[in-house]
Amino acid sequence: MELRTELPVIFEQFAEQRKNSFLHVKELKDKGIPVVGVFCTYFPQEIAMAMGACVVGLCSTSDETIKDAERDLPSNLCPLIKSSYGFALTDKCPFFYFSDLIVGETTCDGKKKMYEFLGEFKPVHIMELPNRQSEDGYQMYRNEMIRFREALESHFGVTITEDQIRKAIHVRNEERKALKSLYELMRLDPVPMKGEQLYSVLFGSTFRFDKEQVAKDIYALIEKVKAEYSEGKHLEKMPRILITGSPSSGGAMKVVRAIEENGGVVVAYENCGGSKSCDELVDESDPDVYGALARRYLNIGCSCMTPNPNRFDLLGRMIEEYKPDAVVEIVLQACHTYSVESLKVKRFVQDNYNLPYLKVETDYSTSDIGQINTRVSALIEML
């Protein structure tokens, strides 16, 4: 990525990255490179990267195949789960088609049962996720890291060394540092870019398979944004919104668009795909490589954890650093853990920071866009 490229073009390149990588993953497959399909932020990419595998996020953000999924799954299930299964069932997800192994994790009961059906199409490995961020939990997930390494070695007929894992940890840490440096630009007021543009880079970078090049391209983008900002090229001052809750990619991005089409700007994403994914690094100095991985990944503050103090630690830091005027929580329908925990989030935001809070419960369809626009515009008008 060259610095002379215009910023809108750069953002568009990242937004189109997922689609472009459909062909790239086939090229990698043709070269004999293993492909591992994944769903969740808890997945330890470093172990798969250590064996030279290509890690791909599977299709699960569109309502395109939900009708197909509902032939087998309950209609009142979370849209992310139905979308994941539907794309696998219909063979409409190239990443699923080319994956040699699917890795799931026990973050929720719906996904656990859905993985049983996925096992009818592809080899599936399930990582057992503890529900508590305790010392026993870390030890359990450390054991899961080793079990996953052994599963890869058995399935692909390879040997994965700790040195290889350490190298992958360093590469991923550098990518996380770059992405964090990018979204920290949104601390500026006025902001240098729209929140949807920021998310297009965060989400699009997950479909760039050369992770060392990703970090270089992100830093080049940062320099470009800084240069234009110093020339006065930035958005006008407007109400600042922090997003939390369920993953907001794909169909759920309609909430972000509603915010930014009604006069606000999303300055930070606490949820999956945002800060949760790259806020914390793996400790490269830890002699116990599996323990370091387990601790870093289990520290993610997902609502599947009980209690879940790490989410509120991160949310509080982000409110203090990004200074939002309001917090909007996106909750996917039937995502019970986030839905139940939303009361704690509301109390946390209002009692500790005296900020307006809006909960938007939605799915991947377009049927509620009008209602979302009405509610969001009322919030921004109040600000």
Average pLDDT over residues 157-175: 98
In this prediction, residue 5 carries a pLDDT of: 67
Q: Looking at the domain assignment, is residue 370 inside a domain?
A: no
Question: Residue holding tokens 């979204």?
Answer: 183
Indicate if the pLDDT at residue 78 is higher than 70.
yes
- Evaluated on CA atoms 148, 153, 156, 159, the torsion sign reads positive
Query: Taking 60 as the threshold, does the pLDDT of residue 102 lie above it?
Result: yes
Does residue 15 register a pLDDT over 80?
no
pLDDT band at 1 (very low <50, low <70, confident <90, very high): very low
Residue at 18 is within a domain: yes
Flag whether pLDDT at 25 surpasses 60.
yes
| Domain span at 147 | 9-163
pLDDT single digits (tens) 212-231: 999 999 999 999 999 999 99
Of all residues in the chain, the percent with pLDDT exceeding 70 is 99
Q: What is the mean pLDDT of the chain?
A: 95
The three-state secondary structure class of 284 is coil
Can you give the pLDDT at residue 49?
A: 98
In a domain, 276, yes or no: no
Alpha-carbon span 45 to 38, nearest angstrom: 9
Q: Does residue 307 belong to any structural domain of this protein?
A: no
Q: What is the residue type of 187?
A: R
* Confidence band of 60 (pLDDT split at 50, 70, 90): confident
Residue closest to 307 by CA, chosen among 64, 134, 167, 155: 134
Q: Residue 282 falls within a domain, yes or no?
A: no
Q: Which pLDDT belongs to residue 11? A: 82
101-105: strand order across its sheet: 54-57, 35-38, 101-105, 124-127
Q: Tell me the per-residue pLDDT of 118-159, one tens digit each, with 9 for 90 and over.
A: 999 999 999 999 999 999 999 999 999 999 999 999 999 999
Distance CA(214)–CA(54), nearest Å, equals 14
* DSSP-derived secondary structure letter, 3: T
Q: Tell me: pLDDT of 2 over 60.
A: no
Pairwise CA distance, residues 199 & 232, whole Å = 22
Token pair 């949310």 is found at 315
We report the CATH number of the domain holding residue 79 as: 3.40.50.11890
Read off the pTM: 0.95
Task: Say if 313 falls within a structural domain.
Answer: no
In a domain, 119, yes or no: yes
Residue range 264-313, pLDDT digits in tens: 999 999 999 899 999 999 999 999 999 999 999 999 999 999 999 999 99
Query: Which letter does DSSP use for residue 101 in this model?
Result: E
| Contacts with 366 (C-beta within 8 Å, 6 or more apart), sequence order | 254
Q: Among residues 120, 57, 128, which one has the least CA distance to residue 94?
A: 57
DSSP 252: G
Q: How far, in Å, are 139, 299, 380 from residue 135 at the CA level?
A: 6, 11, 43
Return the beta strands (E) in the chain as ranges: 35-38, 54-57, 101-105, 124-127, 240-245, 265-269, 326-332, 357-362
Q: How many domains does the chain have?
A: 1
Please check whether residue 184 lies inside any domain of the structure: no
- Interval 307-357: pLDDT, tens: 999 999 999 999 999 999 999 999 999 999 999 999 999 999 999 999 999
Percent of the chain exceeding pLDDT 90 equals 89
Q: What are the b/e assignments for 339-361, b being 16+ CB within 10 Å?
A: bebbeebeebbeeeeebbbbbbb
Segment 355-383 mean pLDDT: 97
